[in-house]
Amino acid sequence: MAWTRRQSHLSILSFIIAVLLGPSLCSLPEKIPVAFFIFGDSTVDVGNNNYIKTVPENQAGFQPYGNNGVFGGPTGRFSDGRVIVDFIAQYAKLPNIPAFLEPSAEFVHGVNFASGGAGILPETHQNLAIDLRKQLENFEEVQRSLSEKLGDAQAEDLISNAVYFISMGSNDYMGGYVGNPLMQQSYSPQQYVGMVIGNLTNAIQGLYQKGARKFGFLGLSPLGCLPALRAVNPNPNNNEGGCFEDASALAQAHNGAISTVLRSLEHHLKGFKHANSNFYNWLADRMINPAKYGFKEGVVACCGTGPFKGTYSCGGTRTVKEFELCDSPKSHVWWDSFHPTEGIHEQFALELWGGAPQDVGPYNLEALFNNDLGTTIADIVDKDVDATI
Ligand SMILES: *[C@@H]1O[C@H](CO)[C@@H](O)[C@H](O)[C@H]1NC(C)=O
């Protein structure tokens, strides 16, 4: 029948076209997944600290962490379930990104180097966490192993196309400074912020020199409003609704300084693209108006002891053994004395992924992952054809 003949002619024709053009055109609509590398502290640790020698304060691999059951139990995440990078991986259509220290972890979709308690400065919780410098050394190891596995050219492509997410700094200001009289004697708050920012800038430039181009940053939250800091606030009736003012001021100074640095790097480093977020007011708003965002309790943690459940005892393995657990973590902004619930992590992730320029910029993570960076379709097709030829 003519009908079938025409159809088979068409399919032969399209087959020939497909063979002639090679896989490039056929695979155009299918996006190659972009790898995801994560550096940071307990905000994004997915289990590295299960494998290091440290104190229980820097670990979360025990009940009731992970008690919403998403992963079937505790994993080392400092949350009732997932953390921000789990959601981002999901939006980017990647599998869960493994912890670097997890035995037999696969590196081709990226790796998570984050470590609870870690600081940008090596002095912060020294020897009790994997500091930023050591996390960068671990990245070099991954880079070498990718080159062996994929060959230099493909490994370089993966590295330059990947998104690098950094969530760090809180520990430098809390344990590293506000809780460390020696540091306060040696450095003024301004000098100290300058040192932290200097080291973070070096780390970003170091990654850039190793081939990284696309960066995402989670800004610091109002640190003085964490339940643990409210509980030790020396001037609880001052202002800011009982928050520990000095700690919050450091976070704000840090956020201001890093935005300036990132804008300047965007001009000075060719191809450097970033998504920065200022979640300081964003999180403060959720503490003040929890109901507006689907929560009931914005100030008191779900798991812990004492005022605001600010005594860091969740799980009963730390210094204080008694702790209480709320019935519904979903209705809380804070999971334990220092860490938000999965619900907040998800809202963080949604905002970073697709947020408007006033919350995240100059790019959001969706643009970084999808290479939606102002390149034209023609650039992409040219590049694809070049690569196949
Ligand atoms: C990095 O931190 C160290 C302290 O660990 C400090 O001495 C040094 O000046 C900092 N570097 C920069 C570039 O700020």
Q: Does ligand 1 have an atom closer than 6 angstroms to the CB of 231?
A: no
Tell me the residue length of the chain: 389
Q: What is the pLDDT at residue 286?
A: 97
Angle at 248 between CA 43 and CA 65, to 5 degrees: 25
Report pLDDT for 1: 38
The confidence score (pLDDT) of residue 234 equals 82
* Ligand 1 pocket, residue 198 CB under 6 Å: yes
- Token couple for 365: 């993570």
17 lies in a domain?
Answer: no
Within a domain: residue 329? no
* CA distances for 1 relative to 10, 11, 12, angstroms: 14, 16, 17
- Which segments of 111-202 are extended strands (E)? 163-167
Going by their DSSP bridges, the two strands 273-277 and 360-362 should be labelled as antiparallel
Is the CB–ligand 1 distance for residue 205 below 6 Å? no
- Atom 9 in ligand 1: residue holding the nearest Cα: 195
pLDDT digits (tens, 9 = 90+) for 93-135: 999 999 999 998 888 999 999 999 999 999 999 999 999 999 9
- Domain with residue 57: its CATH number is 3.40.50
Residues of the chain with pLDDT under 50: 1-7, 10, 23-29, 376-389
Cα gap 142→139, rounded to integer Å: 5
Residue 120 CA to ligand 1 center (angstroms) comes to 10
pLDDT score, position 218: 96
Q: Which atom of ligand 1 is nearest to the CA of 122?
A: 5
Cβ of residue 123 lying under 6 Å from some atom of ligand 1: yes
What is the CB-side half-sphere exposure of residue 107 using CA atoms within 13 A? Answer: 20
What pLDDT was estimated at residue 357? 80
Q: Is residue 26 domain-resident?
A: no
Report whether residue 290 contacts ligand 1, using a CB cutoff of 6 Å: no
| Ligand 1 centroid from CA 99, angstroms | 27
pLDDT of the residue at 382? 41
Q: For residue 64, tell me if it sits in a domain.
A: yes
- 379 catalytically annotated: no
Is 345 annotated as catalytic?
Answer: no
* Predicted local confidence at residue 358, as pLDDT: 78
Which tens digits make up the pLDDT trace of 285-296? 999 999 999 999
Residue 182 forms part of a structural domain = yes
365 found inside a domain: no
Closest of 350, 277, 282, 274 to residue 90, by C-alpha: 350
Q: How far is the CA of 176 from the centre of ligand 1 (A)?
A: 14
In a domain, 148, yes or no: yes
Residue 171's nearest CA partner among 143, 208, 130, 134 is 130
- If one counts the domains in the chain, the total is 1
Give the pLDDT score at 150. Answer: 93
Helix boundaries (H) for 235-361 = 245-268, 280-288, 342-354
Q: Is residue 14 part of a domain?
A: no
Domain range for 263 is 33-281+344-356
Cβ pair 247, 322 in contact under 8 A: no
